Structure 1
Amino acid sequence: MTMPNLRWDALTPTIITTALATAVVILRLVVRCKFVKAIGFDDFVIVVSLFLSWIVLGLTVAMVVTGFGSYAWSNPLDIRHTTAKLFLSWNVLYVVLIHVTKASILTQYLRIFPTRTMRRLTWLLFATLLPSLFWGVFASIFICNPVKKVWRPMTPGHCLGTRTYWLSVTSVNIVLDFAVLALPIPVISRLKLPRRQKIALVGVFLLGFFTCAVSIVRLVVVHNAYARHNYTASSAEAVTWSMVEANVGIICASLLALKPLITFFFPQATKERQPPRWSLTLDTISTMAPSEPDVEKGPVREQPSARPMVSDERLEKIAEELEDSDELTLVGTRQSYMGSDARRVRTKSWSEQTILDMEGVISRPESAATSPLTAHMVEEEVEA
């Protein structure tokens, strides 16, 4: 008695998810070449991961052709041997595939997040991947001693329990998935992004946690099938959920790189309708009469009324008190938002007015007025 449904249940999701992962990676490469015009090391790593996914798909097809998903006693002995060898190879490449995908995500973190703490934690997770990869490959190859006992069960020797193997490999994989996805959350939570962009970013990471959910579902399904002593079903379901997990991981690793493509086709998707709360204005501070503004781009809006001027002596004194400061504190009055492409208006004096947004550049002239000098300190001096 054969079980063709089990065979196709193992193959169909593998084909569908591999095709989706391929499409997403191709879009990622198009974005990197056409829009960003730069290929990063993380792009090469994700291509390697996709290549491994196609190899694993080929092994899955070969296993189905040789009877995988059928009851073992319904197949000739030589077919059973071939299927067992293919399944052993499938296990090894699957372990390599999921670890390469995690390495691609971590490599992307190194490119996106330049802070020292973030880079150290990323390298720490890289170091954690190595023993996990070693254990997964080692346990897959030497699950039986001697190895040929995998396809020749009557050979003298002993084997590690299949359930023990899946529990150990899957548990470590779930922990690493959560660690990799949770690593940038503290950094992202402190970013002052427009609401739509923050929602999109959170959505990407929630989809990433879907990979963890798939791993947990796979663990439960395989455990239950094994507990019913239905080893054929447990193997087929393990392959099904494993490939869904691996390909969803490839998709999630590529989503962050697709933002330029989304912005190109849906420019309104990343724009805010309401003025963002993080738009600030540094008021002009000058000891001489304001000159005509030099507008870099866009029309000039009406400027706020001039503040009382502060003496040069007092400005120099405040600058000397703050000369050891490494940060520029941005404190000032809020002003009407000038759109997603905020204009910068420079005066010809030694001070300047800068409208800040998250994608802009903060200028820091060497002048005492715009170095570590803060707007609120000047206001206090004016009031005094």
Structure 2
Amino acid sequence: MSSTRDLSQVPAGTPPAGVTPNFEHPEGSQYQIYSLNIALCLTGTVILALRLYTRAMLQRTIALDDWFCIWAQICAWLFAILCMLNIRNGYGFHMWDLHLNKIKPFKQYDLAAEDIFVVGIWLVKTSILLFYLRLSHEKRFRQMTYAIMIFVAVYNILSLLIFTLGCSPVQAMWDVTLMPTAKCVDQLAFVYANAAFNLFSDIITLALPIRLCWSLQTTLKQRVLLMLVLMMGSFACVIAIVRIVTMMPFLDDMDLTWYKVTLAKWAMVEINVGIICACLPVLRPLLLQVFPQLLGSSKASSGAKGNRGGSDGSDPVSSTRKKVIRNWDYLTTLNTTAAPETTTDVEVQEMAKHEAMDSQSAIVRSTDYSVTCKRSSS
């Protein structure tokens, strides 16, 4: 108990020359913390709600990638709540305006927020990669998608372990009284490494579907539109780069409670932008209702190239299969409640039936004639 009373009278940091500590009314950044966290989480939640409306009401299905996106948004809110609750422990204030007894609860909240951020980013990336698995049944494409998924899982699990168990004894992660004798991993250096891994996986995830989208059997406008939607993920790459750059000035900075706001700000931007980028490709059926002329109807896109099956002697089933699998509608309206192969075969058979009926009705015409012979009686 005496130790607690002593810590409550000890300044947590030494102020720069010419700066006087202010323990009663310190300068803080509470308004920035509240406004940024709430605004970003609300934006991400609105886009996620539109995604769920599209999937549940228009496509009549909720897939695994949707659930991962929901859990990621929950992580974003938990991260924001922990940051806002941590204000009472000195988050957003200078170290020299705080007493040492504030640092232990501050670090505990901060550690929990870091772990939740790692889980949130993991869920966002997994949601995007699960969506990619519905884009194509090509073996190499799926192998690469699974490989990236495993890579993301491994480095995020390592991040969780190092962020949580980075000191020996473990209690030194949040108890400053144990720091002089503890052995710890360089936390800030590992934050850099984690951000670099995030950036690398962002770039690979962004580049993965480009060739697939460009080979779609549809109009050039729609191919470009879909690529632009998927390449919105490049904004998440930019955010990851910015987060790395903003950490550089704090390598030797001891003002932990102050600069953590800047790092958490870009972390909050990164996770919510990731959620928005994960939702955008799924929103196409909803956008078709609002902007049908811009995105084009499914009928126009399915007949954008090539002749109708069977009219030139080709196999209508094979030509229809090419249209279904290489069509933008297939990428965003596939019913994921069934196995992908089964769903595709059903669509192929239905379209082949309509193609065959149309071609037959266009070239076949039957006419009945009645001929009567009358013999003359001479």
In the superposition, the TM-score normalised over structure 1's length comes to 0.70
Aligned to 1:256: 281
Q: Say which of 66, 72, 96 aligns to 2:95.
A: 72
Q: SS of the counterpart of 1:154?
A: helix
* Contact 1:163–1:223, Cα closer than 8 Å, also in 2: no
Q: Which residue of 1 aligns with 2:77?
A: 54
Post-superposition CA distance 1:249-276 (Å, at most 9, x none): 011101111111111122212139x999
Q: Aligned match of 1:129 in 134, 149, 152?
A: 152
Aligned equivalent of 1:266: 291
| The structure with more helix, counted as a fraction of residues | 2
Alignment correspondent of 2:28: 4
Give the unaligned 5+ runs of structure 2. 1-21, 322-328, 330-349, 361-378
Cα distance in 2, alignment partners of residues 10 and 143 from structure 1: 27
Aligned-pair distance for 1:220?
0.6
Letter in 2 for 1:209: S
Q: Does 1:202 align with 2:219?
A: no
Question: Matches of 2:86 and 2:254 in 1, distance apart?
Answer: 21
Q: 1:27 to 1:327 in 2, by over 3 A?
A: closer
Instruction: Describe the shift of the 1:329–1:113 C-alpha distance in structure 2 as closer, same or farther (beyond 3 A).
Output: closer
Number of equivalenced pairs: 302
- Of residues 105, 116, 128, the one that matches 2:128 is 105
Distance 1:9 1:277, change over 3 A: same
After TM superposition, list the pairs within 5 Å mapping 1:1-384 onto structure 2: 1=22, 2-5=26-29, 7-155=30-178, 156-227=181-252, 230-271=255-296, 278-280=305-307, 284=311, 361=351
CA contact (8 A) 1:144 1:160 kept: yes
Structure 1 residues 220 and 285: alpha-carbon distance in aligned structure 2, compared to 1, 3 A threshold: closer
TM-score, normalised to structure 2's length? 0.71
Q: The residue matched to 1:280 in structure 2 has which SS?
A: coil
Contact in 2 for aligned 1:11/1:61 (Cα 8 Å)? yes
Deviation, 1:212, is 0.9
How many Å apart are 1:57 and its aligned residue?
A: 1.3
Cα displacement (A) at 1:227: 4.7
1:170-221 per-residue CA deviation (whole Å, 9 max, x = no partner) reads: 1111111111221111111211332332232222233211101101101111
1:212-233 deviation per Cα after TM superposition (whole angstroms, max 9, x unaligned): 1101101111112335555444
| Alignment-mate amino acid for residue 72 of structure 1 | M
Deviations 1:302-329 (A, max 9, x none): xxxxxxxxxxxxxxxxx9xx9xxx9669
Cα deviation for residue 277 of structure 1 reads: 6.9
Report deviation, 1:100: 0.8
CA distance in 2, matches of 1:115, 1:57: 40
Relative contact order, higher structure (CA 8 A, sep 6+): 2
CA distance in 2, matches of 1:205, 1:284: 36
Task: Please state how far the C-alpha of 1:245 moved relative to its aligned partner.
Answer: 0.2
- After superposition, the Cα gap between the structure-2 partners of 1:149 and 1:8, relative to the gap in structure 1 and judged at 3 Å, is farther
Show the counterpart of 2:366: none
For residues 157 and 229 of structure 1, do their structure 2 counterparts lie closer, same or farther at Cα, with a shift above 3 Å needed?
A: closer
Indicate if the aligned counterparts of 2:48 and 2:279 stay in contact, CA closer than 8 A.
Answer: yes
Q: Distance in 2 between matches of 1:92 and 1:51?
A: 13
SS at 1:111's partner residue?
A: coil
Structure 1 unaligned blocks of 5 or more: 287-318, 331-339, 341-359, 371-384
Q: One-letter code of the match for 2:279?
A: S
Task: Return the alpha-carbon distance in structure 2 between the equivalents of residues 162 and 138 of structure 1.
Answer: 12
Letter in 1 for 2:296: K
CA 1:79–1:266 in structure 2 vs 1: closer, same or farther (change >3 Å)?
A: same
Paired position in structure 2 for 1:378: none
Flag the 1:175–1:68 CA change in 2: closer, same or farther, 3 A: same
Q: Which amino acid aligns with 1:130?
A: A
* Separation in 1, partners of 2:35, 2:286: 29
The one-letter code matched in structure 2 to 1:68 is Y
Deviation of the 1:79 alpha carbon = 2.3
Residues 324-350 of structure 1, C-alpha deviation per residue, up to 9 Å, x if partnerless?
xx96699xxxxxxxxx9xxxxxxxxxx
CA offset digits 1:5-63 (Å, max 9, x no partner): 3x443443222111111001111111111111111111111111111111111111111
Counterpart of 1:298? none
Distance in 2 separating the partners of 1:60 and 1:215:
20
Contact 2:210 2:227 in 1 (8 A): no
Change over 3 Å in CA distance of 1:282–1:130 after alignment to 2: closer
Retained in 2: the 8 A contact 1:33–1:39?
yes
